[in-house]
Amino acid sequence: MAMNIAPGAIPMDKLWQEGPERAADEPALMIDVGGFEGPLDLLLHLARSQKVDLARISVLALAEQYLLFVDSARRVRLELAADYLVMAAWLAFLKSKLLIPQQAKGDDGPSGEEMAAALAFRLKRLEAMREAATRIINRNRLGRDVFARGAPEHIPHRVRSVYDASLYDLLSAYANLRQRQAVTQVTIERRKVWSLSDARELLTRMLGEVTDWTALQRYLLEYLPPADRVTATASAFAASLELVREGKIEIRQEGAFQPIYLRNGQQGLPARETVVDTF
């Protein structure tokens, strides 16, 4: 086919082509995850490869690209940081929302479209900050393009005080001191576990304003390496119980070993009983 794009013409394409003929020792992924500053950075990179204005990217396509990336990373047993996996779970959730036709309006939190718009906004904002950073650093910098008096004669001082010290001096002196004095502890090698607070944070964040029953864990576990699943399940379950107790979420299970459904507690009311006064 004449229109066929040569493999590798778009560098990102290599990523998705896992030719079976690839030598076993050849790295399957051309993307070095270490080169990315987190999942949002990776998403931005993928979005750019769509070669359209960020305002017009297809979030669905983007989510699919990302999930594909995570899948292929897992296939070559590339260890991905939890951040990437959480994003994968969230995108899988988003994808399912985007694919399911919108239900009755207004009763179940943000629609898939709204969530997609939020993601697009964040990508745009990150890109804008990147550009701003470049513009700042390319300004005429003191000591590189513009120079101060090389042989100053007198350093003016602040009014009133004879001594000078910055807050930074003060804080680093304090931090150093305290750290010096802190008893050195024997460190035991960390076991790879998801702590309760990891799980708690994760659940809270993923659930967000989602008010309909969702088996969120399903999305998450799918993207966790098998070795992490037990610890993640345990922690997530324990954390969800804690969140239920605090009234932050509600939980439902049809029967033993059935999926656990979660949703935001109290439909936006604060966890504690609130006395509603009339003003």
Site for another protein in 3-22 (CB under 8 A): none
Identity of the amino acid at 95: K
Among residue numbers 205 through 224, which ones bind another protein (CB under 8 A)?
205-206, 208-210
Answer for which of 62, 63, 92, 126 binds another protein (CB under 8 A) is: 126
Nearer to another protein, 76 or 171 (CB): 171
Cβ closest to another protein, residue 30 vs residue 81: 81
Q: How far apart are CA 96 and CA 253, in angstroms?
A: 21
Of 1 and 149, nearer to another protein (C-beta) is: 149
Mapped onto helix, strand or coil, the DSSP state of residue 183 is coil
Site residues for another protein, window 31-50 (CB under 8 A)? Answer: 37-41, 43
Nearer to another protein, 18 or 198 (CB): 198
- Cα dihedral across residues 125, 115, 266, 215: positive or negative: negative
Does residue 96 interact with another protein by CB under 8 A? no
Query: How far apart (Å, rounded) are the C-alpha atoms in residues 276 and 279?
Result: 9
Task: Pick the stretch among 9-17, 18-26, 66-74, 144-152 that binds another protein (CB under 8 A).
Answer: 144-152
Select from 20, 34, 101, 226 the one that contacts another protein (CB under 8 A): 226
Q: Is 194 in the site for another protein (CB under 8 A)?
A: yes
Q: How far is the CB of 213 from another protein (least distance, A)?
A: 17
Applying CB under 8 A, among 12, 68, 117, 221 the residue interacting with another protein is: 117
Distance CA 33, CA 201 (A): 24
Which residues are registered as beta bridge partners of 3? none
Token pair belonging to 224:
């966790």
Region near another protein per CB under 8 A, out of 12-20, 59-67, 132-140, 271-279: 132-140
The region, left, alpha or beta by phi > 0 then psi within -120 to 50, assigned to residue 162 is alpha
Of the residues 2, 136, 256, 275, which one makes contact with another protein according to CB under 8 A: 136
**178 contributes a contact to another protein by CB under 8 A:** yes
How many alpha carbons fall within 13 Å on the CB side of residue 55? 1
Q: Which two tokens stand for residue 266?
A: 């109290």
Which residues lie below 8 Å from residue 69, measured CB to CB, with a gap of 6+? 15, 16, 29, 31, 42, 46
